Chain A
Amino acid sequence: MRKMAYYKGCLASLSAKELDSATQALAPKVGIELIELESVTCCGAGDIHEAEPDYYLHLNARILAYAAAQGVDTLLTVCNVCTLNLRQANFMLLGDTDLRARVNENLVSVGVPAYEVDVDVRHLLWEIAEGEGYELLKTAAHRGLKGLKIAPFYGCQILRPSKIQGFEDPDRPWSLERIIEACGGEAIDYPAKIKCCGFPIIQAREETALGELIQPIEQAYEAGADAIVTPCPLCHLSLDAWQSKLKKATGRDFKMPILHLSQLVGVAAGLEESELKFKRHVVSVKPVLEKLEI
């Protein structure tokens, strides 16, 4: 078992609790022991970076410091936006000793341990797409997906900016496809899989956001996908919950089930509904489960 600090983020703590429970149940099957961090806050989701950037840096440094205090070298995330915010802050601190010293002084003055030993921020996707995690995944996914057609949806911030994320070619990503195939599904190909779901502006500019959101759903639908899978709970929320608004705006009801990455692998690994919590989805996942005879 590889020990990792686990940063849930806001959504998996609150409205996407199904992501948290599926991840907790899946982790030991892919060789990861999660150490949940308690004294941590929101990463700012890009919003605090834009509103009060110095506070953003300090908040994220505090999360990194508490992860390092666990004596692990990896902070595991399950959200694209958390991953980018934490990695960006981490690189700022690792690459600038003066900045790190100033931030550490401030952390210590409010009672937070200084961020001294470096940690690496990694998304669950990267841990199970290659190496030991991938090998274990192939064994764990014994129930399989019976050739279900799954449309991978990466979302933006797991791929871009690539100089910060850097796991795979942002224009030719392969990690989700590889996982889908290892689980016994068929990966569907469509152009919008690396584009934006519109979530960051879904409240402030809903119409513009819906114009983005419709692309992956419509393209996956036309390619015959049984479901879309995403590594990001924000993408999940817009793809799942805002589908009803697409129906209102366009008259088209796609009824496209949207799965979290942990749920897709979890269902192939034989996890129970009590762990996967598909009932918490707005768009019913029933057609998928029926095809899998679950």
Chain B
Amino acid sequence: MQVGLKVWRFNSRTGERELQEFEVSAPEEATLLDCLDIVKDQHDGTLAYRKSCRMMICGSCGMRMDGAAVLACKTRMYDVAQAGHVPVISAMGNLPIVKDLVVDMDPFWEKFRSVNPYLQPGYDEPPDGKEHLIRQDRMNAVHKEALCINCGCCVSECNAMESDPLFLGPQALAKGMRFVGDPRDGQKIARLEKLNGEHGIWECTRCYFCNERCPKGVDPRDAIAKLGAESMKEGIDRDMGAKHAKWFVTSAKTTGWLRETELVPKTQGVVSAIKQTRFALDLAVKGKVPPPFPPHVAKDVKESRRLHDLVRDRGRNGFDGIVQGEHALAMLAHAKGVGDETLEEIYERPGAYHRPYIDGEEIPAGSEGGMGSLTQADVTPGEKPTRKPEGGA
């Protein structure tokens, strides 16, 4: 098959960038990585990209296709070529580009190291001198996190990190959960304290790009939620993000609906809330600050309160409360009963999204190019870096 590629070339010494187009002849089973190998072998030997295992284990070949981070070795090109689409290939986001598709991973490894990504044993030696046996269900709690291959696809797309490059980010935090949830580790509380820092779990903006992009099913956002739940269970709840989350629990069990007006003082403290008075007044004029009295109370809210007390006493608290749903959610990503289904039925499966360009259906303007944009070729890679507004808020 013939595969067209538009590749962003970049030279960090000169700052020169250029979108270069290639067309290669490749076997039908070729991946993006295979196609890049053909480019380098037959068309332009100066193209730079990382690779090693070619089988989704080493995590070297993370890059962007049409603005979305992928492992090049996992991305088959057949459908793209058949559709006549010429994708834009660029380096991952949120990391400095060294050359072409190669990024500097140092900031990534620095965050990775900062969560002490190794076991800190906290158990006594078994009295009989034999090995420690750990129940399977205890290890299931970190099964997904342990799948991480450190490729950086999640970090590439992290919206919070685009705004604050110091944010620890999805990879380091998921790795943090891998050890917080490990029953053999003896430093759980110290780890949780550290991960509750300024650039820790409460800076996650819940954009879910990490879950979407991870090629290994780690679901870093869910790992971050597990860390939040475990922090709360252990009483580590000083951060504004933790207070914000706790206020939702208080609201749900007292009035049923979010007590919006009290959310700011409960999250930021009274002093900070008073500093925001002017802002709050502007919103109040528009009815955006509902008066807290009389409270807006849901019917039968006592059921909600009794449920809360019941679950607190008998439920699965901390990260176990999230782990218990993973089995059912995992089925969404896996095909059940494949074989007799039509293509339409496959796309009707729970969790299957509408395929673009199906059956010559009308395609609304602006929904063709990937990452939501027709103009992806012009905006990659980061012509306008996105950062906090100057001067802060």
Binding site for B on A (CB under 8 A): 10, 13-17, 38-42, 44-59, 62, 88-89, 91-96, 99, 106-107, 109-112, 152, 154, 156-157, 160-174, 177-178, 180-181, 186-196, 198, 200-201, 203-212, 214-215, 237, 241, 244-246, 248-250, 279-282
Residues of B within 8 A of A207 (CB): 163-164, 388-389, 392-393
Further contacts, 5 of them, CB under 8 A, given A62-B307, A163-B333: A161-B211, A172-B367, A189-B366, A200-B205, A201-B205
Candidates A14, A88, A194, A204; contact of B371 at CB < 8 Å: A194
Q: Is the CB of A282 within 8 A of B208?
A: no
Q: Does B264 contact A (CB under 8 A)?
A: yes
Contacts A51-B232, A187-B364 given; does A244 touch B67 at CB 8 Å: no
Bound Cα distance A165, B252 (Å): 24
Question: Does B331 lie at the interface of the complex (its beta carbon under 8 Å from any beta carbon of A)?
Answer: yes
Chain B residues within 8 Å of A194, by CB: 371-372
Among B311, B317, B369, residue most surrounded by chain A Cβ atoms (within 10 Å): B311
Bound form: Cα–Cα A92–B316 in Å: 14
Most chain B CB inside 10 Å of its own CB: which residue of A57, A161, A188, A212: A161
Q: Name the A residues within 8 Å of B387 (CB-CB).
A: 211
Contact B367 A210 (CB under 8 A): no
Measured in the bound complex, the distance between the Cα atoms of B169 and A208 in whole Å is 13
Q: Within 8 Å of chain A (Cβ to Cβ): is B353?
A: yes
| B198, chain A: closest CB distance, angstroms | 9
Contact status B252-A171, CB under 8 Å: no
Sorting the interface of chain B by its residue count into under 10, 10 to 19, 20 to 34 or 35 or more gives 35 or more
* Contact of A204 (CB < 8 Å), options: B241, B252, B289, B354: B241
B290 pairs with A92, CB closer than 8 A = no
Tell whether, in the assembled complex, residue A177 and residue B208 are in contact, meaning their CB atoms are under 8 Å apart: no
Interface string of B317-351 (1 = CB under 8 A from A): 10101101101110111000000000000000011
Q: A42-B257, A280-B287 are in contact. Are A203 and B268 (CB under 8 A)?
A: yes
Which segment of B47-55, B117-125, B298-306 sits at the interface? Answer: B298-306
Q: Is the CB of B328 within 8 A of A211?
A: no
Please give me the residue from chain B that is nearest to A179 by CB atom.
B364
Q: Is B369 a contact of A172 with CB atoms below 8 Å?
A: yes
Does B183 sit at the interface, judged by CB under 8 A? Answer: no
Q: Which of A52, A111, A181, A187 contacts B303 (CB 8 A)?
A: A111
* Any A CB within 8 A of the CB of B194: no
Whether A47 lies near B298 (C-beta < 8 A) is no
Indicate if the CB atoms of A110 and B257 lie closer than 8 Å: no
Stretch of B96-104, B140-148, B243-251 at the chain-chain interface: B243-251
Assembled-state Cα–Cα distance A163/B333 (Å): 6
Which 10 A-B pairs give the minimum distances between C-beta atoms? A95-B328, A211-B163, A53-B321, A189-B366, A177-B364, A54-B315, A160-B208, A41-B256, A92-B325, A174-B367
Q: How far is the CB of A197 from chain B (nearest CB, A)?
A: 9
Say whether B379 faces chain A, with CB atoms less than 8 Å apart.
yes
Known A-B contacts A15-B290, A51-B229, A52-B317; A210 and B160 likewise in contact (beta carbons under 8 Å):
no
Contact (Cβ within 8 A) A162 B351: yes
Choose one: A167, A187, A212, A244; the contact of B279 (CB below 8 Å): A244
Decide: A203 and B372 in contact? CB cutoff 8 A: no
Q: Is the CB of A172 within 8 A of B370?
A: yes
Find chain A residues with CB under 8 A from B321 CB: 52-57
**Distance A28 CA – B245 CA, assembled complex (angstroms):** 36
Given contacts A96-B325, A178-B364, A212-B160, contact A191 B373 (CB under 8 A): yes
Chain B hits for A203, CB < 8 A: 240, 244, 263-264, 267-268
User: Is B159's CB within 8 Å of the partner chain A?
Assistant: yes
B311 contacts A106, C-beta separation under 8 Å: yes
Q: Which of B204, B225, B256, B374 contacts A49 (CB 8 A)?
A: B225
A59 CA to B311 CA, complexed, in Å: 10
B353–A167 contact, CB under 8 A? yes
B76 within 8 A of A: no
Verify A164–B202 contact, CB threshold 8 A: no
A selection of 6 A-B contacts at a CB cut-off of 8 Å is A14-B258, A55-B307, A162-B353, A163-B333, A166-B352, A181-B365
Report which of A50, A168, A208 forms a contact with B164, defined as CB distance below 8 A. A208
Are A15 and B260 touching (Cβ within 8 A)? yes
Which residues from chain B contact A38 at a C-beta distance below 8 Å? 298-300
Contacts A173-B372, A201-B241 given; indicate if A161 touches B212 (C-beta within 8 A). yes
Q: A52-B311, A172-B370, A193-B372 are in contact. Are A209 and B207 (CB under 8 A)?
A: no
CB distance from A109 to the nearest CB of B (A): 7
CA distance A53 to B204 in the complex (A): 17
Find out whether the CB atom of B303 lies under 8 angstroms from the CB atom of A47: no
Q: Are A157 and B208 in contact (CB under 8 A)?
A: yes
What residue in chain A is nearest B278 (Cβ atoms)?
Answer: A244
Task: Contacts A51-B248, A54-B317 given; indicate if A110 touches B310 (C-beta within 8 A).
Answer: yes
B358-381 Cβ-contact flags toward A at 8 Å (1 or 0): 000011111111111111100100
Checking A14, A112, A249 against B296 with a beta-carbon cut-off of 8 angstroms, the contacting residue is A14
Report yes or no: B365 in contact with A189, Cβ–Cβ below 8 A: yes
